[in-house]
Amino acid sequence: MRLAMGMAEVSCDEIGYVNAHGTGTPLNDIAETKAYETAFRGRSRPIPVSSTKSYFGHCLGAAGALEAAITITAIRCGALFPTLRLTDPIESPGVDWLRGEVRRQPLPLAMSASAGFGGSNTVLIFGSGPA
């Protein structure tokens, strides 16, 4: 995540939302929370994070592409989609787990984080582009 932010030449404060890999398994949830805490350390406010897999399940090889499309849609619509059925998120001072209602806010930059079997990991940063 930090490498992606460096390559995009953006700071952690410029990212407005993360579409998490979010498989909803205990070990993955703990690992992802720690990863977001590390990647966004020093941010002035907690990073909003949700998993859109809660809407469609894990599409295996297609998951990353679908999550990227949803992240772009979030930017275009100014809508942060909550994780469905998230009732007991891991407590973290640096992560704002989205649940409940869709949150409306301008979103110039968002991140999509995907992990695959065997250690294939991808983080993409999308932006709204010039006005």
Q: Among residues 59, 53, 3, 56, which one has the least CA distance to residue 28?
A: 53
The pLDDT of residue 103 is 96
The pLDDT of residue 130 is 65
- Relative to beta strand 95-97, strand 79-80 is unpaired
Q: How many CB atoms lie within 10 A of CB 62?
A: 10
> What residue ranges define each of the domains in the chain, with the CATH number in brackets?
2-127 (3.40.47.10)
Q: Look at the alpha carbons of 129, 84, 64, 27 in this order and tell me if their dihedral is positive or negative.
A: positive
pTM for the predicted model, two decimal places: 0.91
The pLDDT of residue 35 is 94
Say if CB 92 and CB 20 are below 8 A apart: no
The pLDDT of residue 124 is 96
The pLDDT of residue 25 is 80
Judged by phi (left if over 0) then psi (alpha if -120 to 50, else beta), residue 22 lies in left
Q: What is the pLDDT along the chain (131 residues), one digit of tens a residue?
A: 999 999 999 999 999 999 998 878 888 889 999 999 999 999 999 999 999 888 887 777 778 889 999 999 999 999 999 999 888 889 999 999 999 999 999 999 999 998 876 677 899 999 987 65
